[in-house]
Chains A and B, each alone.
Chain A
């Protein structure tokens, strides 16, 4: 049977047969680089289209339905428009940093792709501190945002960037603690092992209430970390026009836009991996027959299904709730989420030590 694992394995073997190991490694890196960029483009198109359709249906509208079949080519047309537009650099801006910022944001998003397991054995880099790596790298994107806000020489951008800085630094904490709770349960930081430990059921079901609380905190924290409504302080359309990317136009604006959607995909992929078993099919304890049926659905389908489910949840938040104020946002983190997640971590530790999970 065709599987992505064997495909990756065969490419690796083939390259090593033809070339010396160093060249083989380098050519693999190039293939992966191209693959990631292609994935970025596809994700950007799909997620933007999805967001527009989800928002449209929630707002009793039809959404884009003119370009292509049911409007599928709408985002491609929009991208084309953005490419053709002039990329303005404001006169008073710090030109180097202004031009650098979108690339920093994109590079961070690309780095985050590394440890994500798309299916069994199909992973760019199965690093043994995968979860820690993600926590560490994801906080770097704030540098790009701060850079963009500062270098634009625009007060709206500056306020947006500062808000974003305060927000991401705060929400890192509870996102980290929520992830830590799952690490305690799993006993490993490696993504592949975390997935393997959910062989007989996903953690959200096996881990009792603490896992559910941890999941809720995680989803709130990552919504805030990716600057999505209701936590889109950095953009805050009605207050700061467009926040940190007010001065960006053309393709550089598209990079920010794309990075936002790719970041959503990545955090949702992490959420799916930690709480819903990544590519692991839906297994229930010892029901062999049932588990066997579930195994027929390929891991990639499970992985993308779960991830897009979580992305839908985040979009659902965006199109339902009003935006918080910046002080309320920080208040929510420091007086509600952080104490709850600390208490939750304690509870989870007790459960893990005593082995009270399934």
Chain B
């Protein structure tokens, strides 16, 4: 029957629309379902594995574990890390290769974690920071070893 089909069409169409409206109406009257995080006031605690930027571990005596072996520099796909080495004179008078400046280009980094994996001495790690925006891109080029820091004893 044509007319029955017509009415059925209208009925099915209208019920499908009303069901949708009931769902949105449900969310309208249930503000508890809101999932908005109000960012600057409420800051999410990021998990410890979150890859925000590469930082170098320093202990309380301002000592790091980086020997300047450039394993991370070689592992990096984007030439994010530049390591400048110098020669230290050890107490027994020998020359020893050591880290001078650890340059890290945050603007080039894709947070792939390869440098952290490659590091044989566990000197660098990923920090959980994420607010990296700056006004000048040169600020994104960082030196990771703190001024005056030196190699931790016993790290080869």
Contact = CB atoms under 8 A, between A and B. Distances in A.
- Touch A–B, Cβ below 8 Å: yes
B27 A321 contact: no
Contacts of B10: 336
B20 A321 contact: yes
Main secondary structure of the interface of A (DSSP, over half): loop
Interface string A318-345: 0111000000000000001000000000
Contact of A57 (B23, B31, B38): B31
- The size class of the interface chain A forms with chain B is 10 to 19
B36 interface: yes
A62 B35 CA distance: 8
Main secondary structure of the interface of B (DSSP, over half): helix
A66 to B, nearest CB: 9
B147 to A, nearest CB: 40
Contacts of A57: 27-28, 31, 34
Interface in A57-104: 57-62, 65
B24 A58 contact: yes
Interface in B1-44: 10, 17, 20-21, 23-25, 27-28, 31, 33-36, 38
Contact of A60 (B17, B25, B27): B27
Contacts, number: 36
B25 A316 contact: yes
A54 interface: yes
Contacts of B31: 57
- The size class of the interface chain B forms with chain A is 10 to 19
Contacts of A316: 21, 24-25, 28
CB-based closest 10 A-B pairs: A62-B36, A58-B24, A320-B24, A57-B28, A320-B20, A58-B28, A61-B36, A320-B21, A60-B33, A60-B34
Interface of B: 10, 17, 20-21, 23-25, 27-28, 31, 33-36, 38
Given A57-B28, A57-B31, A58-B28, 20 more contacts: A54-B28, A57-B27, A57-B34, A58-B24, A58-B25, A58-B27, A59-B27, A60-B33, A60-B34, A61-B34, A61-B35, A62-B38, A65-B38, A316-B24, A320-B17, A320-B21, A320-B23, A320-B24, A321-B17, A321-B20
